[in-house]
Amino acid sequence: MTAVAACSSNPTPDIRYASEGGLDLDRRAMALREVKALQNKGARVWCVPFARNASGVNIRGNANTWWGKAAGVYDRGRKPVVGAVMAFAGTSGMSMGHVAVVSEVVSERRLKIDHANWNRNKVSLGMLVEDISPRNDWSSVRVESNPGSFGKPYPINGFIYPKQDS
């Protein structure tokens, strides 16, 4: 795992989107069309292609490799920004890690994510996540899998910020 000190000197890039609400709704729509096409063929839906399509962060490989692969290619940091990829670390119960796209920053310690395969073979939009890290640095979170019910803690490597079109 790459240390946070190795992150870009720009911890919160200026992320701008043309669509309302800050989220690139065209990318999200394209990602959802891709999911539907896979489901119609009986194919499995995974978090990695969904996050890549929805965010524009073009990284390949299991989710637990994204943080390291982003080093030197994408800005990374600890601050959630709409459109950024939240990179979950691999754990014993989630060995391949997980990636999700930040769809809304609700408050300093809460945000919403769009992601695939948290619930097997489905996409979840606007799922609430809360930062439970002791230093308020988004290194540990709980995800609201059911309304009003947050699950167990998950370690987070950080956020990968998409490049902006020139």
Residue pLDDT, tens place only, 68-107: 999 999 999 999 999 999 999 999 999 999 999 999 999 9
- 8: pLDDT strictly greater than 80: no
pLDDT of 77: 97
Q: What is the pTM of this model?
A: 0.85
pLDDT of 7: 32
Q: Between these two residues, 5 and 44, which has the higher pLDDT value? A: 44
Exposure pattern of 72-82 as b/e (b: 16+ CB <10 Å)? eebbbbbebbb
- 61: pLDDT strictly greater than 50: yes
Dist CA 73 CA 3 (whole Å)? 15
